[in-house]
Amino acid sequence: MGSGLTPWLDPVLGLACLAVAAFHLVLLGRRHAPVASGAHAAMGLGMAAMFLPSADPFPQPLWVAVFLVSGAWFGAAALRGGSLLDEAGQHVVGAAAMLFMLLGGHGHGAPTATGAVAPEHAHHGGGGGAPGLLVTMLALIFAAWFVADIVRTVYARTAVPVATAPVAVAPAGTTVTAAPAAPLTASVVAHVVMSGAMAVMLLGMA
């Protein structure tokens, strides 16, 4: 599939998605939130396959099945939680976006580095039944969601927390320093990379 943007961007983002998948596979091996880690790893591998379709060994029906199961699993959890803004809801949106890219994406081929149109992999072709305007609108909506997710995630980690307890008055001559912002952990960086890669792919579809 590829993003259809600049030729060098697809390999870079494909390798970044592979790194994210490897990170979550390590977490999965350590039994750290195995369901969520497995879903993140599958999404990283799926995105890498879209950016690097020639290196994808799996057929489209397998990817579709993976993200249907993921969306159903986390959809049930989101219904129990009553929100799409928690982790389960984000997995639902992620699975829906992956299915949209797999089934509604580029129809006949992606541009190669030389500018010619390469034959599209049969398992990444995307159906041609959806009207182009609808595909564009949905791609932009999904892209906006992931851009907002990046902003929300980074802000939540770097914003200085507001104190909720009464603040004591410092004695004269002393200095009060604000609490440091929470550091960006590897999990947060991986999350931001994936959201960014998905936004790029979706903007390429639009």
List pLDDT tens digits, range 92-143. Answer: 999 999 999 999 754 433 333 333 334 344 344 444 444 688 899 999 999 9
> Residue 189, class by beta-carbon neighbours within 10 Å (0-12 exposed, 13-18 middle, 19+ buried)?
middle
Residue 50 belongs to what domain range? 9-131
The reply to whether 105 falls in a domain is: yes
In angstroms, the CA 135 to CA 68 distance is 19
Q: Which ranges of the chain have pLDDT less than 70?
A: 1-5, 84-85, 105-131, 159-184
Q: Name residue 21's amino acid.
A: A
The reply to whether 141 falls in a domain is: no
Q: Which residues contact 166 (CB under 8 A, 6 or more apart)?
A: none
What pLDDT sits at residue 4?
64
In angstroms, the CA 49 to CA 68 distance is 17
What pLDDT sits at residue 165?
46
The reply to whether 103 falls in a domain is: yes
The reply to whether 39 falls in a domain is: yes
Tell me how many domains the chain contains.
Answer: 1
Q: Which of 156, 143, 124 is nearest to 60 (CA)?
A: 124
The reply to whether 197 falls in a domain is: no
The reply to whether 116 falls in a domain is: yes
**What pTM was computed for the model?**
0.74
Q: Is 109 helix (H, G, I), strand (E, B) or coil?
A: strand
What pLDDT sits at residue 167?
47
